[in-house]
Structure 1
Amino acid sequence: MDQLTLSINSVWVMICAILVIFMQAGFALLEAGSTRMKNAGHVAGKQMLSFSICALAFWAVGYGVTFGNGNAFAGLEGWFLDLPKEKGALPLEITFLFQLSFVAVSLSIAWGGFAERAKLGVYVIFGALYTMLIYPLVGHWIWGGGWLSKLGAQDFAGSTVVHLQGGIAALVATLLLGPRIGKFNSNGTPNAILGHNQVYTVLGTLIIWLGWFGFNPGSTLSAEDGFFGYVALTTNLAAAAGALAALGTARLVVGKADIPMMLNGVLAGLVAITAACAFVEPWAAVLVGVIAGSLTVFTALYFERKGIDDPIYAFSVHGIAGIWGTLSTGLFASPRLVEKTGVGKAGLFYGGGLDQLGVQAVSILAAGIYVAIASFVILWVLKKWMGLRVSEEDEVMGLDLSEHGSYGYPEQLVNPTTQKMDSRVS
């Protein structure tokens, strides 16, 4: 690679890293808007906490476990980025920042399952361990030359590595924490706990959609032949299809064109196409998005009926859509695109048989089982040691005040005449 090409590619990947990092702003708005006003500052602020934990833990340990030389299961070198710099490769620092942006998204997804009731200390400990021990192992298996990579697993930008991992960790946390106070009646029927600001959720989703143009196209790691434009096209088609499919499904199922469901459809379409964006034709990208958008509506309603309180539907949006997106390449991977990427085989609908579909299924099972067990063990130990959940009094008060001593919307608590805090929360 000549110096000019290397410079162009380096700038391209750095720009994409910034776009994906900016998705943290989208998650802050989406999650804060999807939860109650009394927790808004806490929910938004934990995105800063999340990225800060990831930055240090991934630098110290996680990057080495993911991409360092080792064996089929883990990298065994590269702590604190102490890795040899290969001639003609992208600068290590840029590659690190790009990969850091991915693990930060995955942890943000996982933390969605903790929302409105978890202790702040649990976020810190689980976040560090997730970044050093959970995410990197699956990342190594698929992206770091590990055993799934050798099988030909197709996960171009992370439906499994990023989203399925985050979604499963969120589900485990949700189950161990239990539902929020008031979510379910004594007979098990759910009550709606509405987010406090739908405008925030829309704006947050738009920012995340924009950031995804760094997520998927950036995973080409090159601007050289313009293939990133094709990846951007399939990504956008799936997101749009997911939005319309979710909106239509919600209208048919619940009788209203539900806006939060439409937003979840956008995200589900993006999650699903993340594995497939470099492997499928545009028509297949639309189909991937349509199925993902519809699935997220049905599964969100199903899990709620089963007594699972997932405040931002992290498992439906990222877990279920991540599973579907990973499987979709085993169905729709185009021979010409498989040849271009050099990963795996053509899908079932192109005469490739069940080989690639089987590899994709193995990827899902391996990642899902490992993340579920590892997350459960860590959270179970934390539950026995320090407790996962804030007290009932603190939960009712809201985590803004109980955990941080300040309120995201202080004017709501202050009497404008006396300028004193309302006695109900003093």
Structure 2
Amino acid sequence: MSRILSVFALMAAFLAASLFAPARYAMAQDSLSVDIQGPGQAKMNLVLSQPFAGGGQDATSRKLQDLINRNLAFMPFLQVVPQSQVLGQLNGPQADQIDFKPFGMARVDVLVTSAWTPGGNLGNVELRAFEVYSQKVIVGKGFDSVTDAQLPDIADRFCMELMLKLTGQGGFFNSQLAFSKPTGPKSSEIWVVRPMGRGLTKITSYGDLGMAISPSWSFDGGKIAFTLIGSRSHYLGVWSGGGKPAVYTMPCTSVVSPHFLPNGQVAVALNLKSESAIYILNSAFQPGSPTVKTNGIAVSPSFDKSGRLMAYVSDEAGSPNIYLRDMGSGSSRRLTKFGYNTNPSMSPDGTLVAFTRQTGGGQKVFVLDIATGAEQQVTSGPGSDENPSFAPDGYFIAFASTRGGASKIYITTRHGAQPVMVPTGDGAARMPSWGPLPGK
């Protein structure tokens, strides 16, 4: 009888394994990794096991579990597999207490465990991520005397370490987004937030005096430039990390899409002498000669981290298209060949441009490979998607979308992963700008 039961369990394990698509990853000896920058979207299967908790910590352990699970939703290279769909039991959180065979047969690549023990405040917690194939710990974190307020940071730190281990990049969890939030018919403010919705902070307070829109981070992360629309004119606003932003008057009434260069200068589209051109402002934040001047409009500058390449919008060919300018030679070439194209965002390495194109189903976000000219539509569905902004890792892309009704900020990837909404509080959220990583 025991032999029959063993055979039945083995067959059931193979059946469970067939439920999951095989992971595509690089295995170098006992090192598990996934290439998030390469073509396509690689996947790994991950099980987040039920926490081991004692001393009345069930509610706390479930809260941390939920926070980690929400963070995992931002990592599309991980497919979370419910523990209930894998045969076998965990007798504890450590390797010698785990039977890895059922997880391996179910094609699970990563197993995450958590264990709580009594201690100060809410207690102590240990988090581990195991590579199922080698049965080795790839990420291990311990936290003592945990408080309720620390739980989100613990979840972020663990997931950051896990992403860093698997992809070589974990800065997503330390990055910040700036965006514009309308507060009335003729008012809006600039806010900043981390991608998971934490650290939500308002940095301007103009009320009915004006609309603060189109934020852009400096490459060192110390400043944010934006357009301030007053009752009679546009102004350039510059926030320098604290206090009241400085406001600069331009020699025209139209100030559109300011954007920092890596050297700290600001490029902005100004309408001088009835001509819309892109200017690079001097140290006093005033324009000299235009950097880009066409027979029509020229707006929306965006730079790579070297400052050598600038993407921008021009309608010199009849409708708005995306152009690329070599800042050294001064030469420009058209990138998009058809359609109504706006809102370019250069990837930091200068290889890709994300932009918005008007389609029959509304505005959608596309990514263009500068070397080959190949385009990929990375958003779809209801509503309009606009104002894409590359993350500093060149993998994630933030954008504004009305897919759920009011405009909100969402995150996808250069491969077009299922968008995840960034919590930004009540009301609409528009025009995201992804800031650099701290200390980079």
Higher relative contact order (CA 8 A, sep 6+): 1
Q: Return the TM-score normalized by structure 1.
A: 0.25
Rg comparison, structure with higher value: 2
- More helix per residue: 1
TM norm structure 2: 0.24
**Which protein is richer in strand relative to its size?**
2
